[in-house]
Homo-oligomer: A and B are copies of this chain.
Amino acid sequence: MNNQQAIKEKPAIKDKPVIKAKQVTNRGEEDYIKAIYKLSDEAEGDRVTNHQLVTYFAHTAQTVNEMVRKLEKKKILVYQPYKGSLLTALGKDEAVRLIRAHRIWETFLTEKLGYAWEEVHEEAEMLEHLTSSKLADKLYAFLGAPTVCPHGNYIPVLSDMNRDDLDTCGRLKLSKAKKGKQYCLKGVVDDKALLVYLNGLAIYIDLCFTIIERDLISDIVTLAYGGRNTSLSGAVAQKLFVCEVYDAEDNT
């Protein structure tokens, strides 16, 4: 209905249809991979049970089973009924890639755009799925190759791909810290309610404090910092990662 129908020569420059998103894995699958990677830290034998995924995602057992079986077919994990799932090397690479992208975005949003640390997780949770290695690497370089995200968690690099202790390395859960010693906060679990709670207590990454009380019966840790004392439940203390401070400096 227009000019050139017989003159069809070179692949001329013409209006191209919008590109189709054709990814290998999609958001649903990718979030399962990350979840299994994360949950396998705590679980015995590193296996992640379907039940863990049911509670983590608030999906039905049926849905979890379907997803797990699908990822199994894709060689991303090995699944044993009643035992749980174990990521393959392929699956771990995927997980680390996603966690890397996630933390890079979180760093970008806080460092460059001025987001608060409790605001970045949701955004990163979406952006991570659209992040090619190229984009991740360019962003990472732009940020100056940061080692940690705003919550103090390590941003993995390629050489970390198969390290299993990504989230602990060198750090200690505050719940395992000892009375009388001094610690520095180096990481927190990225949970919005927790982050807002910590804001209210003026607790942030790199804060140093002394443990002045450790009540093992009520499971309460009491910290002293900035001229105040704060008591935290064991549940919260389990979500804070610290390093011991050896040189006893003044930190009022």
Binding site for B on A (CB under 8 A): 11-19, 21, 27, 31, 35, 55-58, 112-115, 122-123, 125-127, 130, 132, 135, 138-139, 142, 191-194, 197, 235-236, 239
Contacts and interface: CB of A to CB of B under 8 A. Distances in A.
A34 to B, nearest CB: 9
B191 A13 contact: yes
Nearest to A11: B193
A16 B193 contact: yes
Counted per complex, copies of this chain come to 2
A197 B16 CA distance: 15
Given A18-B31, A112-B142, A113-B135, 20 more contacts: A11-B193, A13-B191, A13-B197, A13-B235, A13-B236, A14-B235, A15-B191, A16-B192, A17-B56, A17-B57, A17-B58, A18-B35, A18-B57, A21-B27, A113-B139, A115-B138, A123-B130, A126-B130, A127-B127, A127-B130
Interface of A is mostly: helix
Nearest to A122: B19
A19 B125 contact: yes
Contacts of A122: 19
A31 B21 CA distance: 12
23 contacts: A11-B193, A12-B235, A13-B197, A15-B55, A15-B56, A16-B192, A17-B55, A17-B56, A17-B58, A18-B31, A18-B35, A18-B56, A18-B125, A19-B122, A112-B142, A113-B142, A115-B138, A123-B132, A123-B135, A126-B130, A127-B127, A127-B130, A130-B130
Contacts of A112: 142
